[in-house]
Structure 1
Amino acid sequence: MILRRTGISPSKAPFRALLLNPRTLLPKLLKPLPIRKLRNRTLPKLLQARELEGRHVIYPHYCRCNFAEEYDKIQASKPVVWRYRGTDKMGVCALKHLRVDLQTLQGQTETDVLLTGSINGSLSFSEVGGVGQYFDDGTKWRADCVKNFVKGKTFEHDEMRKPVFRPNRAALLMPSRISCIRLGPKCSPQAENDGSVAGRVLFTTLGSETSGGSVYTLGLVEPLNLGPGILNTWSGLEEIASFRCTLWTAEYDYNRHRAVIGTSLGGASVDLETRMETWFLRCKSDVFAQQIINSGNVILCGLRNGAIVTADFREKRESLSDRLISHRIPYSSSIGGCKKEWFKLKGDIFPSHTIRMPSSISSLVSLQFDEQYFLASAMDGSIRLYDHRLLQRGAVQSYEGHVNSHTRIQLGVDPTERFVTSGGEDCKLRSWSLKSGELLFEEKFSDSIVSTMCYKTYSSCKAEEENQYKRDSSHGAWLGSHEGLFYMRWL
Structure 2
Amino acid sequence: MPQELPGFYFDEEKNRYFPIKGPIPGSARSSSSKSRKPSTQKSATSSTKESYTCKKLRNRTSKLLLVRELYGDVIASHKRKCSFKEEIHKIRASKPVVWKYQGTERIGVSALEQILIDVQTLEGQSEADVLLTGSISGPLIFCEVGKFGQHFYGGVKCMPDCVRHYAKGQTEEHDEMAGPIFRAAGSSLHFSGISCIRLCQESSSAVGDGPNFRHVLFTTLGSETSGGSIYTLNLSEPLDIGPGIPNIWSRISRVASFNCTLWNAECDYNRHRAVIGTNLGAASVDLETGRTSWFLRCKSDVFAQQFVNSGNVILCGLRNGAIITVDFRQKRERFSSRLVTHRIPYPPDKTIRSSNKEWFKLTGDIYPSHTIRMPSSISCLVSLQYDDQYFLASSMDGSIKLYDHRLLKRGAVQSYEGHVNSHSRIQLGVDPAERFVMAGGEDCKLRLWSIKSGELLFEDKFSDSVLSTVCYRRYRNMEDEYKHNNNLGAWLGSPEGLFYMHWK
Q: Same fold (TM over 0.5)?
A: yes
Question: Structure 1 residues 314 and 359 mapped into 2: Cα distance closer, same or farther (>3 Å)?
Answer: same
- The unaligned stretches of length 5 or more in structure 2 are 1-26, 37-52, 478-483
Match of 1:164 in 2: 181
Question: Structure 1 residues 85 and 52 mapped into 2: Cα distance closer, same or farther (>3 Å)?
Answer: same
Q: Which moved more, 1:154-163 or 1:110-119?
A: 154-163
Question: Structure 1 residues 336 and 225 mapped into 2: Cα distance closer, same or farther (>3 Å)?
Answer: farther
Q: Which moved more, 1:472-481 or 1:201-210?
A: 472-481
Question: Structure 1 residues 159 and 77 mapped into 2: Cα distance closer, same or farther (>3 Å)?
Answer: same
**Pair 1:440-2:457 in alignment:** yes
**Pair 1:250-2:265 in alignment:** yes
Q: Which moved more, 1:314-323 or 1:228-237?
A: 314-323
Distance 2:288 2:329 in 1: 16
Distance 1:237 1:284 in 2: 32
**Pair 1:480-2:493 in alignment:** yes
Task: Return the letter of the residue paired with 2:62.
Answer: P
Distance 2:271 2:280 in 1: 23
**Pair 1:350-2:367 in alignment:** yes
Question: Structure 1 residues 121 and 322 mapped into 2: Cα distance closer, same or farther (>3 Å)?
Answer: farther
Distance 1:122 1:208 in 2: 17
Q: List aligned pairs for 1:185-204, cutoff 5 A.
A: 185-186=201-202, 194=209, 198-204=213-219
Following TM superposition, by how much is the alpha carbon of 1:135 offset from its aligned partner in structure 2, in angstroms? 4.1
Distance 1:447 1:226 in 2: 37
Match of 1:26 in 2: none
**Secondary structure in 2 aligned to 1:238?**
strand
**Pair 1:183-2:196 in alignment:** no
Distance 1:56 1:157 in 2: 31
8 Å contact kept, 1:331–1:343: yes
Following TM superposition, by how much is the alpha carbon of 1:311 offset from its aligned partner in structure 2, in angstroms? 1.0
- The TM-score normalised by the length of structure 2 is 0.84
8 Å contact kept, 2:112–2:471: yes
Following TM superposition, by how much is the alpha carbon of 1:156 offset from its aligned partner in structure 2, in angstroms? 5.4
Distance 2:152 2:66 in 1: 52
**Secondary structure in 2 aligned to 1:250?**
strand
8 Å contact kept, 1:280–1:312: no
**Pair 1:79-2:92 in alignment:** no
Following TM superposition, by how much is the alpha carbon of 1:124 offset from its aligned partner in structure 2, in angstroms? 1.4
Distance 1:400 1:199 in 2: 37
8 Å contact kept, 2:231–2:255: yes
**Pair 1:364-2:377 in alignment:** no
CA offset digits 1:221-250 (Å, max 9, x no partner): 121235447463211111111111111111
**Secondary structure in 1 aligned to 2:231?**
strand
Q: List aligned pairs for 1:41-120, cutoff 5 A.
A: 41-59=59-77, 61-120=78-137
Task: Return the letter of the residue paired with 2:340.
Answer: I
Distance 1:102 1:115 in 2: 15
Q: Which moved more, 1:237-246 or 1:336-345?
A: 336-345
Question: Structure 1 residues 267 and 147 mapped into 2: Cα distance closer, same or farther (>3 Å)?
Answer: same
**Pair 1:220-2:223 in alignment:** no
Question: Structure 1 residues 9 and 486 mapped into 2: Cα distance closer, same or farther (>3 Å)?
Answer: same
**Pair 1:398-2:415 in alignment:** yes
Distance 1:314 1:140 in 2: 49
8 Å contact kept, 2:220–2:228: yes
8 Å contact kept, 2:308–2:388: yes
Distance 1:189 1:87 in 2: 34
Distance 1:229 1:168 in 2: 7
CA offset digits 1:94-149 (Å, max 9, x no partner): 01111111122222211211111122240111111110133441110011111111
Task: Return the letter of the residue paired with 1:42.
Answer: R
Match of 1:153 in 2: 170
Match of 1:464 in 2: none
Distance 1:486 1:418 in 2: 21
Distance 1:162 1:195 in 2: 25
**Secondary structure in 2 aligned to 1:10?**
helix
Task: Return the letter of the residue paired with 2:195.
Answer: S
8 Å contact kept, 1:170–1:226: no
Question: Structure 1 residues 266 and 39 mapped into 2: Cα distance closer, same or farther (>3 Å)?
Answer: farther
Distance 2:267 2:343 in 1: 29
Question: Structure 1 residues 321 and 213 mapped into 2: Cα distance closer, same or farther (>3 Å)?
Answer: farther
CA offset digits 1:61-91 (Å, max 9, x no partner): 3311111111111111001111111112425
2:275 pairs, out of 249, 255, 260, with 260
CA offset digits 1:307-350 (Å, max 9, x no partner): 11101246947434521000000113322542111000001111
Following TM superposition, by how much is the alpha carbon of 1:295 offset from its aligned partner in structure 2, in angstroms? 2.0
Cα RMSD for the two superposed structures:
2.7
Q: List aligned pairs for 1:415-434, cutoff 5 A.
A: 415-434=432-451
Match of 2:156 in 1: 139
**Secondary structure in 1 aligned to 2:30?**
coil
CA offset digits 1:403-447 (Å, max 9, x no partner): 000000011110111101111101111100000000000011111
Distance 2:277 2:427 in 1: 15
Distance 1:8 1:473 in 2: 30
Task: Return the letter of the residue paired with 1:58.
Answer: A
Distance 1:6 1:139 in 2: 52
Match of 1:322 in 2: 337
8 Å contact kept, 2:346–2:353: no
**Secondary structure in 1 aligned to 2:248?**
helix
Following TM superposition, by how much is the alpha carbon of 1:291 offset from its aligned partner in structure 2, in angstroms? 0.7
Task: Return the letter of the residue paired with 1:8.
Answer: S
Question: Structure 1 residues 341 and 246 mapped into 2: Cα distance closer, same or farther (>3 Å)?
Answer: same
Question: Structure 1 residues 489 and 246 mapped into 2: Cα distance closer, same or farther (>3 Å)?
Answer: same
**Secondary structure in 1 aligned to 2:110?**
strand
CA offset digits 1:339-392 (Å, max 9, x no partner): 111000001111111000100000000111111000000100000000011000
Distance 1:290 1:147 in 2: 34
**Secondary structure in 2 aligned to 1:113?**
strand
Distance 1:369 1:425 in 2: 30
Task: Return the letter of the residue paired with 1:66.
Answer: S
Distance 1:458 1:272 in 2: 25
Q: Which moved more, 1:318-327 or 1:242-251?
A: 318-327
**Secondary structure in 1 aligned to 2:85?**
helix
Distance 1:327 1:483 in 2: 44
- The unaligned stretches of length 5 or more in structure 1 are 15-34, 461-470
Match of 2:323 in 1: 308
Q: Which moved more, 1:480-489 or 1:399-408?
A: 480-489
Distance 2:80 2:181 in 1: 45
